[in-house]
Amino acid sequence: MKRFILAFIFAAICLNAFSTTWQIVNSGFSFSPATLTIQQGDNVNFSISQDHDAVEVSATVWNANGNSPAIGFSVPFGGGNVSASQLSVGTHYYVCTPHASFGMKGRIIVTPISGLPENKALNDIQVYPNPVIDKLNVQFDLSESSAFEIKLFDLQGKLVRILLSKTQLNGLFVQSFNLAGETAQGVYLVKMTLGERSTFRKVVVL
């Protein structure tokens, strides 16, 4: 019972904070990483010194090392968070206003949540249960024969496990993968690649 309650609390916390928060820091008069690619729905935290801020500008101003702000996010001196609601799909250009002329600038590229075209290859993909206590099930209809892979990544993009790599014939695919005792608790990305197309699912492992 105690284990169930702890698992429920952990799952609730993880699911309520299901988006990823990425970090941008400064090294002298530069942002690191200078270009950050995230998914729609993710947040960004600027952990920068008191001498620097981060203000969104237009591409034209960014290319000219200017600092005239555009409509968008503005992080105060010393850092702060940029929420997903401020990061629409596309490229967000930003600079440190007092040091833009020195080339202190960066980009945040927001990509849409990956998916595979319906009725093309993977239809109605299901990854369950979520949270996962022991076994993760993957189920989908494959409308054409193709090689595909299922991989598990942590939120830093490090490959944790290759769950499957094979060629599947047409039809319904259902397979279970045992994660109990082999994968630490946390939030992971399950990447499924079929040909040139990929889709991701976030899962919580208890």
CA atoms 199, 174, 134, 16: torsion sign: positive
Least confident of 6-20, 43-57, 104-118, 122-136: 6-20
Structure confidence at residue 14 as a pLDDT band (50, 70, 90): very low
Question: Contact, 183 vs 152, CB < 8 A?
Answer: yes
Peptide bond into 117 cis (omega under 30): no
Average pLDDT value for the chain: 81
Note the pTM of the prediction, 2 decimals. 0.51
Mean pLDDT of 136-161: 82
Mean pLDDT of 178-191: 86
Architecture per CATH, 21-111: Sandwich (2.60)
Structure confidence at residue 173 as a pLDDT band (50, 70, 90): confident
Structure confidence at residue 168 as a pLDDT band (50, 70, 90): low
Least confident of 11-25, 54-68, 92-106: 11-25
**Residue of higher predicted confidence among 14 and 202:** 202
The pLDDT assigned to 15 comes to 38
Burial of 16 (0-12, 13-18, 19+ CB in 10 A): exposed
Q: Where in the chain is the domain with CATH 2.60.40.420?
A: 21-111
User: Is 122-205 a CATH 2.60.40.1930 domain?
Assistant: yes
Q: Where in the chain is the domain with CATH 2.60.40.1930?
A: 122-205
Mean pLDDT of 102-112: 92
Mean pLDDT of 88-105: 94
Mean pLDDT of 5-10: 44
CA atoms 176, 142, 89, 103: torsion sign: positive
Q: Give dist(CA 20, CA 10) in Å, integer.
A: 16
The pLDDT assigned to 52 comes to 96
The pLDDT assigned to 55 comes to 97
CA angle 47, 17, 2 (to 5 degrees): 125
